Amino acid sequence: MSEKQLPLEDIRVIELGTLLAGPFSGRLLGDFGAEIIKVEPPGKSDPMRNWGKSKDGIGLWWPIQSRNKKSISLNLREEEGQQVLRELIKEADVVIENFRPGTMEKWNLSYEALSEINPKLIMVRTSGYGQTGPYKHRAGFGSVGEAMGGLRNVTGFPDRPPSRIGVSMGDTLAALFATIGCLVALHERERSGKGQVVDTALYESVFSVMESIIPDYLLAGYIRERMGNILPGVAPSNIYFTQDKTYIVIGANADGVFRRLCEAMEQPELADDSRFATHHARGENMKLLDSMIEEWTKTLPAKEALKILEDKGVPSGLIYTAKDILEDPHYKERDMIIKVDHPQLGEFPMPGIVPKLSRTPGEVKHAGPEEMGKHNHAVYTGLLGFNEERLEELKKNNII
């Protein structure tokens, strides 16, 4: 374990909610040292504990999503549990929640109520549609956010229905924006001494990365649609089949890079061909150009083609599987596959920390707590000063 001070280790976060968006924000803050106290209702753990593939009955997503976190149980549906949370809030900097809007208010745990207890509190709220607006009370998962935000309509091939990206992109984007908002609010608090609400909507997080689709429509009358692996009007930028029956990706749409690609293909004359000599011309003749490039890639194994392209300075690469990632020396050099001790599974592989900080890098101290409420005693007696009698009473009342 590193002896260096982690950049957020003076920040205490209470993480409420389940599954992806809220807990992923907690993971990101925890990677850089924040103390994350994850709250789960007794007898009803976060479903993430069982999502994904499993090994020996243990879900393989949970140890990653909940790394560096402490786990406590607490029943927020009961007034006694709500009071315990208020005591935790007194000792916290941030509370993360991703319930449907109105849930915290129903439990008498609104930001207004909690900020009276702790005026410096920052409440990070992630929901499908945000805390205001006509849709605020609707249930909203990441899939719906991806659809409403415009992402699903441009994902897939034009002759097929809209497709899902292979990971939970809506939730992940919302978590990233929520984490940015949290850090901004923490910074602003240094000046004002006051907390505030960070309101992140899934659909808005997706929409924020949708590039120029609105001016494309309003100013150019163009609705961006599904285009498969190409970029409309930008060529070459596609995947290409190789001799050993795999695909590589090549991006050579800038004039200078395209000229280097032509040299790599031993067809330098194509760079001056009127059909391909300019950005606009290449876009107009995209299908022909892609077919010519694939005729070349099909004569070579993927690694040989990539070596030629690399030597010529043409952006290109394999389309990686998990196996490729594990075998790649660059991933290894950058510590992007780390191994953390797991009580049942031993060395547990998981993604490393992003981004890399030069002086105060993040750290994964432990995998997600294997049992719910593992840190009940440490948090309730250590942080809040409850005695054993109080703990037993809370257990008896099904509050923890």
Q: Which of 171, 255, 272, 341 is catalytic?
A: 171
d(CA 335, CA 356): 10
Report helix, strand or coil for 190: helix
Closest to 112 (Cα-Cα) out of 200, 212, 205, 195: 195
Name every residue whose Cβ is closer than 8 Å to that of residue 61 and which is 6 or more positions away in sequence.
Answer: 48, 51, 52
Partnered with residue 97 across adjacent β-strands are 125
Beta strands per DSSP E along 204-285: 237-241, 247-251
Residue 36, phi then psi, degrees to nearest 5: -105, 115
372: tokens are 């719910």
The 8 Å CB, 24+ separation contacts for 310-317 are 311/264, 312/260, 312/261, 312/263, 312/264, 313/257, 313/260, 314/250, 314/252, 314/257, 314/260, 314/261, 314/264, 315/250, 315/251, 315/252, 315/257, 316/248, 316/249, 316/250, 316/251, 317/248, 317/249
Q: Give 173: exposed, middle or buried? Use CB within 10 Å, 0-12, 13-18, 19+.
A: buried
171 assigned to active site = yes
The residues annotated as belonging to the active site are 171
